[in-house]
Chain A
Amino acid sequence: MSRADRTSRIEQEIEQNLKRAFDDVADQEVPSRLTDLLAQLRSKETDRSQQDAKDEGDANDS
């Protein structure tokens, strides 16, 4: 194999490996600490908006 052939083969493999390295991780199951985090953020927000709604209701009562 000539040097130029070898270089172009390596360049091709670089492109494939860049994609593969990325996709391998992107397709993995996401650790639960990250999905749990989203759930926590959501539930905090729900609590807060319920609290806001309640405060508003209290204000209207008076």
Chain B
Amino acid sequence: MTADPKDELVEHLGAMRAFAISLTRNTALADDMVQDAVVKAWSKIDSFQPGTNMRAWLFTILRNTYYSHHRKHRREVEDGEGNLTAGLAQKPDHDGRLQMRDFNQAFDQLTPEQREALTLVGAGGFSYEEAAEMCDVAVGTIKSRVNRGRAHLTEILELSDDDPLESTEAVTMGIVASNQGAL
């Protein structure tokens, strides 16, 4: 008896949620979307080729679910339950890393296509070629989405990156300068 690929689905639920959240930016909506995708995957498991990457197959179903259905509902739930940036717990930031909240807010401002490409390549461990196949676009399109997404994030985070040391120095310098001017 051969292994049933359906038994493997459970191992990908966590990653499916992570990918869904990168698209919807809302946990409640992401879980609805994963639920729909799991039902679809189950019913069309025969189209999964054993030995190929099941996570890629599931992510493809998930993104199709998002673009055909859940994208429309984003505005309706934006301020509701599960909103990521509103209720997110702050992680301590002792070593100067960017706050996760800043990052999430910047990430929100990208297009879903840029978030998707960045997530697949930058976090999901997929190659540009795999991501292109999953998104049904050319490899060059994925590369340009990744590059634009990165550039946009850098731009936003540079603006919000107020280094407290630098601004303190600037104030001190200003005081010194004005004192010197008074003397």
- Show the binding face of A for B, using Cβ within 8 Å: 1, 6-7, 10-11, 13-28, 30-31, 33-35, 37-38, 41-42
- In whole Å, how far is A3's beta carbon from the nearest beta carbon of chain B? 9
- In whole Å, how far is A25's beta carbon from the nearest beta carbon of chain B? 4
Residues of chain B lying within 8 A (CB to CB) of residue A35: 10, 13
Task: Tell me whether A37 and B35 are in contact (CB under 8 A).
Answer: yes
Task: Tell me whether A14 and B9 are in contact (CB under 8 A).
Answer: no
Task: Tell me whether B38 and A37 are in contact (CB under 8 A).
Answer: yes
- Show the binding face of B for A, using Cβ within 8 Å: 6, 9-10, 13-15, 17-19, 21-22, 31, 34-35, 38-39, 42, 97-98, 100, 103-104, 107, 118-119, 122-124, 150, 153-154, 157-158, 161, 163, 166
Residues of chain B lying within 8 A (CB to CB) of residue A11: 150, 154
Task: Tell me whether B100 and A21 are in contact (CB under 8 A).
Answer: yes
Known: A23-B18, A42-B6. A10 touches B158 (CB 8 A): yes
Task: Tell me whether B13 and A30 are in contact (CB under 8 A).
Answer: yes
Q: Is the interface of B mostly helix, strand, loop or mixed?
A: helix
Residue of A1, A11, A21, A35 most packed against chain B (CB within 10 A): A21
Task: Tell me whether B158 and A7 are in contact (CB under 8 A).
Answer: yes
Task: Tell me whether B17 and A18 are in contact (CB under 8 A).
Answer: no
Task: Tell me whether B122 and A38 are in contact (CB under 8 A).
Answer: no
Task: Tell me whether B158 and A13 are in contact (CB under 8 A).
Answer: no
Give which listed residue, A7, A20, A28, A38, contacts B100 with CB less than 8 A. Answer: A20
Residues of chain B lying within 8 A (CB to CB) of residue A27: 14
Task: Tell me whether B31 and A34 are in contact (CB under 8 A).
Answer: yes
- In whole Å, how far is B43's beta carbon from the nearest beta carbon of chain A? 9
